[in-house]
Structure 1
Amino acid sequence: MSKNIMLHYTELVQFLGETLGPDYEVVLFDLRNNKNEIIAISNGLISNRSIGDSITDYMQENLKDKDYKFTDYRANYRGIVRGNKFIRCSTKYIKDESNEIIGLLCINFDDSRYEKISSDILKLCHPDDLVENVIFEKADDSLIAETAENLDIKITDVAVRLIDDIISTINKPVSMLSKKEKVEIVSLLNSKKIFQLKSSIPLVAKKLSISEATLYRYITNLDKVNKNNNDI
């Protein structure tokens, strides 16, 4: 039965790729027998991936936490390709009759062409003023440590690595960290603008073994201190 399901999704990858067009990357991962690799892909140039490439650290973490037990899909989260370009990602969990996961169907949307079109239109209608106000997003250089090998790295992957790197500098297990040390870690992460990413809040709270409410309180207190310093 599993083989038939995966064959169905393989055909679906080709269909969706042709139907949605070149701005949409459609990827099918086979998770059976711990393969965890791509078995079908359309428009793979978006992330420079191909058959046989493995799943990302972000998705490995979701599988480890058995996220698929609580939902059938994750829609509209952000990913990074080509080192600094945000794309919109959605993942469908493919399950067998016993509700165990056997595959992933991922659809990633790259809006680069639409950004260019909007910029060109603004240049035509008001080149001197409006173009300077076009909103463009680029991941902070300090958050992007990898290049070609990690073109599909996710925001949460970056957050995990950053928090782990900062915690490791203290040379203590998290369980032994004092409140002051945890606040210092939060302050460093805040300086890296990691908390501008909504998904980082539960991640950092979990890593530091504190509640999300406590983390928000630390961040709020830091913001107040920074504001007071700026007012001086």
Structure 2
Amino acid sequence: MFFTNKELEKYIPIANLIAKTFGKNCEVVIHDLSIPQNSVVYAVNNHVTGRQVGQPFDHLVKQVLLSKNFDGDYTANYKIVTEDNREIKSSTALIRNSKGEVIGALCINYDLDPMKNIKEFLDEFMHVEQEKIENVKPFDNVIQIVDDLIDKIVSNTNIDNLKRKDKVSLIKFMDEKGIFLIKGAIEKVADKLNISKVTVYSYLDDIKKNKNC
């Protein structure tokens, strides 16, 4: 390790700190841009991309300086791909001297490959079925179950003595429980309550309006 610019040596502890903090999958490289053809002057955890002291920079211009995200002397979280097809998340910051001149760059390369299994596990574990519930004709056994539910809901009431508010209350309960999502349920409820289908729809409209108030 040979630093032609001693100011860059000050960044070795920072490079080591970053690598130690984020572990073996995190590579940190220091570039001396006064020697572009041999800009790599320090690398820790260099098994990540195989960077070696004495090598030139690779992505500084195309993915850092020319990036639309380049701001404040750095570009963060751009992707590079290794020769063995591993995805690396990279970030690069320029290093300036006391005169404000760019003298080097600090590059962080994080190997995302070990994270893929974790991501796949989390994606599978967190997946839930978002099924859209519509008014459809269900299987016959479901129809029978819903018919029985309707019978039970109204069986303990004296239909002839039910007031409007009581009927609305029953219909509200059945609506909340999803009874009317079953095709044909409105007609069956209307028949059980001795009211018209239009009346059931009217009650449902009133229930909806009161809910939105």
More helix by share: 1
TM range (shorter): 0.3 to 0.5
- What TM-score results when the alignment is normalised by the length of structure 2? 0.48
Q: Relative contact order (alpha carbons < 8 A, sep ≥ 6): 1 or 2 greater? A: 1
Of structures 1 and 2, the larger Rg is shown by 2
TM-score, normalisation: structure 1? 0.44
